[in-house]
Amino acid sequence: MEDIKGRADVEWLVDDFYEKVRKDPLLGPIFDDVMKVDWSKHLPIMYDFWETNIFGVAKYKGRPIEAHAKVHDRAPMEQALFDRWLELFDKTIDENFEGIRATTLKKHAASIAGIMHFKVNHPGDIRMAPPKK
Ligand code: HEM
């Protein structure tokens, strides 16, 4: 197996991952029934997100925490959902890629998932509020 080499591999990885997500009984309905995700828009955003993450190109310019706060309002994002998300993400990588980028991507995903879980579940947390004058 080889490492993730460029944009084409990222696109392949993202497509394969979301195929798994859509078939998953826990995650699939959140994307397709609750949020009614437009895949023709979502997938290219995710290609950019992961290409930016792993290759340092300045393509993704979104606000993922805000996007997920909207998801959380309608389908509470609990730890079990993040665990499943990461399980499928790691599986997609492990089945297809091997190397420093593959390993790093798994670590980045886990780290972002941890921050995201914290932030969507603690929206009013004092540590996130702007400083008081
Ligand atoms: C509980 C697990 C998760 C669920 C159910 C979930 C669900 C979703 C949904 C429904 C959207 C589309 C929002 C919309 O277009 O209306 C979305 C967008 C997105 N997700 Fe997730 N997500 C999860 C975890 C993650 C993780 C762990 C990451 C990153 C490591 C991630 C990265 C993103 C990004 C970058 C977007 C695009 C935001 C934008 O529009 O800029 N998600 N997610």
Query: pLDDT 10s digit of each residue in the chain, 133 long?
Result: 999 999 999 999 999 999 999 999 999 999 999 999 999 999 999 999 999 999 999 999 999 988 999 999 999 999 999 999 999 999 999 999 999 999 999 999 999 999 999 999 887 765 555 666 6
- The structure's pTM equals 0.93
The residue range of the domain holding 93 is 7-121
Q: Residue 127: inside a domain, yes or no? A: no
Length of the chain as a residue count: 133
**Distance from the alpha carbon of residue 99 to the mean position of ligand 1, in angstroms:** 25
Query: Does 16 map to a domain?
Result: yes
Q: What torsion, rounded to 10 degrees, do the Cα atoms 45, 22, 93, 76 define?
A: 80
CATH of the domain at 36: 1.10.490.10
Known binding residues for heme:
68
Contacts of 34 (CB under 8 A, 6+ apart): 71, 74, 75
Q: Is residue 126 part of a domain?
A: no
1 in a structural domain: no
Q: Cα(27) to centroid of ligand 1, in Å?
A: 11
Q: Which residues line ligand 1 (CB under 6 A)?
A: 27, 30-31, 35, 37, 42, 45, 49, 62, 64, 67-68, 71, 77, 81-82, 85, 109, 112-113, 116
Looking at the 3D structure of the chain, how many domains does it have? 1
Instruction: Tell me what ipTM this predicted complex has.
Output: 0.96
